Structure formats: C-alpha cells, structure tokens
Amino acid sequence: MAIANDISDLLIDFPKHERYDLSSQLSRCSVSIPSNIAEGSAKTDKWFSNYLDISLGSSFELGTQLLVAKHRKYINEQNLKQFEEKIEEFQRMTMGFQNGLNK
C-alpha cells in the first residue's frame, strides 16, 4: 500500500499531458501490486502464489515506468533511487513469502 500511496503523491507533480499515458500506467500498476495480494489471499496457496506472481510482475513494470519518468525528467535521481529501494524490498519479501507457500 505504501508504494501505491507514494506513487499517487508523486503523480500530483506530473505534467497534465501525461494524465492518460504514463501517469495512468504508473497509477494502475502501483495499485495492482496490493490489489492482487488482497485478491489472492482469499484463494488456496497455489492460487495465491499465482496472484503474487502478478503482483511481482506489476512491481517490475512499475520500476520500468519510473525509469521512463526519470528519462523524461519528471522525477529526479533521488526519487528514482528511493522507489527502486522500496520496490526491491517488496520483491524480496514477496518472493520469500511465496517460497514458503510453495513448500
């Protein structure tokens, strides 16, 4: 949830012409991360693992979109680094949890 909320705060300063393009993509994939975890938590461990895969995929997509935002100078290096660290931490924790489910 923290990543999705941080992305929402970040998008306030994005140019208006990106509202339906990069901003929308960033928002959708950041919200997809916790949403898939929530949806998968009501499933069996096997299905939950699949939802975690989708959530992880969204986190990798988010990282790529942030690189595009940096390239377009919508965010600075410090913002990018902070998000990359949060995303990498989420990925490590989620993969570790997923490994426990798959045992």
DSSP annotation of 74 reads: S
Look at residues 23, 90, 26, 85 and name the one whose alpha carbon lies nearest to residue 56: 90
Domains and CATH numbers, the chain: 2-101 (1.20.1440.60)
pLDDT at 45: 87
User: How buried is residue 82: exposed, middle or buried, by Cβ count under 10 Å (0-12/13-18/19+)?
Assistant: middle
Contact 36, 14 (CB under 8 A): no
Q: What is the pTM of this model?
A: 0.92
pLDDT tens profile 72-100: 999 999 999 999 999 999 999 999 999 98
Q: Which pair of tokens denotes residue 85?
A: 């660290």
pLDDT digits (tens, 9 = 90+) for 12-54: 999 999 988 999 999 999 999 999 999 999 988 889 999 999 9
pLDDT at 68 over 90: yes
